[in-house]
Amino acid sequence: MRILVSAGEASGDLYASRVVELLKARHPDAVFFGVAGPRMQAAGVRTVVDQRQLSVVGLIEVLPHIPRIFRILNTLTREVEQQKPDLAILTDSAGFHLRVAKRLKKLGIPVIQLIAPQAWAWREYRVNTMRRTLKHLLCILPFEEKFFRDRGVPTTYIGHPLARIVKPKLSREELLAQLGLPAESRIVVLLPGSRRGEVARHVPEVVEAAKALREKAQVVPILALPGGFGAAQCDFLEPFRAASIQVCEGLTWDVLAHAELALAASGTVTIEAAMLGTPMVTFYRVNAISWYLGRWLVRAPFLSMVNLVAGRKIVAELIQHDMTAAAITTEALRLLQDEDARRTMQAGLAEVVAQLSSGHDPMETAASCIERIWRETQTD
C-alpha cells in the first residue's frame, strides 16, 4: 500500500495522522508521503512539502502566495508521478486540494477527500469538480452527507473525530504547576487562530480585551498556540509578551479544559471548546476586500461551527467590524459574571457534542472505508 496524504491545516494534520496510524497498524509495510504537518510527520509520513506552507486563508490574502502554491502543486505532482501511489487522501484546504484532485484524476489515481469543503455555505460550484474527481468523500458534519449525495458525490458521514480524541492530558493542578500559576487562578484562554496570518489580524483586539478582563475580572489570560507554531520566532506576538500574557504551545486542550472561558477565532477550535464544555466568545477578521467579496458569497446563517451544527446561535459571533476589544470584553464579562448565562451556553454546547458523537470511532470508520477502496482498486 502506497498512499499520498495531504493536509493543509493544523486540524487536517491531526485527522490525517490518526488515519495513517490506523492504516499502518493494519498494513505495517504501507508507505505514506505528501504534504505533512508535525503530527503526520510523527506518524511516519514522509514530507514532500511542509503543511505550514499552505496555511493561508481569505480571498485576497491568498493572492501573494499563488506562485508559491503552484510551485508546491508542481512539486507534489512530480513526486506522485515518480511514486505512483495506489490512492490519495486529501484533507481540508479545498482550494488547493481540488486542484490536486484534478491532476490525480488525469494520472488515474483514486482520490478520497477527508473533511468536506464547505460548499453548502459558499462556492457550491466546487461540487462539480468533486463529482468528477473524487472516488469518495468522508464528511464529519451530520448535514453534509445528504447535501453531497444529493449532488452526485459518493459520501459517507463518519462522525466528528474530535468527539473521541479531545481530552486533556494534565490535571488542573499539573497544568497550573507547569504554567507557574497559583491554585486559585482563573484562566481565560486566548485562541486567535492556527495560521500566522489570522493570528496577526486578531492580535490587537484580543490583547486589549485580555488586558481589560485581567483588570475587571481578575483572570489570568493565557495565549495557547498549536504545537509547532514557532511562537518564539513570531514578531507579531510581541504585544502579548509586552502585556505580560503568557504564551504556550501544544497545550491547547489542557488549557481549554481548565479555563473559565475561551476567546476563540471561529474554526475547529470552537468545536474543541464545545467538546470540553468551555464557554466561549468567537470572533474572526479577514482583509477588508475579502470581507466585502465574501459576504455576498456566503449563504450560511452562521460562521461559527458550533452555531452551524446547532442550527441556532449558542455562542456570540463577533465578525469583521463587530470584532472590537470592547465587544469581546462585554461578552466575556457576561459569561464570567452571570452563572445562568454560562449554564445556558454549556447546555447548548452539550447538544452540539451529542450531535457530533457516534457509537463508533470516526477515524476507524475512515480507515476501513479507505482500506475497502484500496482493495477495490487492486482488483479493477
- The whole-chain average pLDDT of the chain stands at 89
Q: Which amino acid is at 176?
A: L
Is 59 within 8 Å of 290 (Cβ atoms)? yes
Going by C-alpha positions, the residue among 160, 22, 17 that lies closest to residue 91 is: 17
What's the pLDDT at 59?
Answer: 45
Is 328 within 8 Å of 281 (Cβ atoms)? yes
Q: For residues 197 and 236, what is the distance between their CA atoms, to the nearest angstrom?
A: 10
- Residue 136 phi/psi, 5-degree rounding, is -160, 150
What's the pLDDT at 60?
Answer: 45
Going by C-alpha positions, the residue among 20, 40, 13 that lies closest to residue 363 is: 20
Q: For residues 275 and 156, what is the distance between their CA atoms, to the nearest angstrom?
A: 22
**Shared fold status for 2-159+359-379 and 172-356:** yes
Look up the CATH architecture of domain 172-356: 3-Layer(aba) Sandwich (3.40)
| Mean pLDDT, range 298-319, rounded to an integer | 85
| Mean pLDDT, range 232-260, rounded to an integer | 87
pLDDT at residue 291 tops 60: no
Q: Which amino acid is at 356?
A: L
Question: Confidence band (pLDDT; 50, 70, 90) for 287?
Answer: low
Tens of pLDDT, residues 32-77: 999 999 999 999 999 999 887 776 544 445 556 677 888 889 999 9
Burial group, residue 66, by CB count within 10 angstroms (0-12, 13-18, 19+)? exposed
Tens of pLDDT, residues 98-119: 999 999 999 999 999 999 988 8
Is 310 within 8 Å of 352 (Cβ atoms)? yes
Query: What is the CATH class of 2-159+359-379?
Result: alpha beta
What's the pLDDT at 317?
Answer: 93
Q: For residues 373 and 380, what is the distance between their CA atoms, to the nearest angstrom?
A: 11
Q: For residues 231 and 56, what is the distance between their CA atoms, to the nearest angstrom?
A: 17
pLDDT at residue 302 tops 90: no
| Domain regions of the chain by residue span | 2-159+359-379, 172-356
Tens of pLDDT, residues 150-175: 999 999 999 999 988 899 999 999 99
What's the pLDDT at 353?
Answer: 93
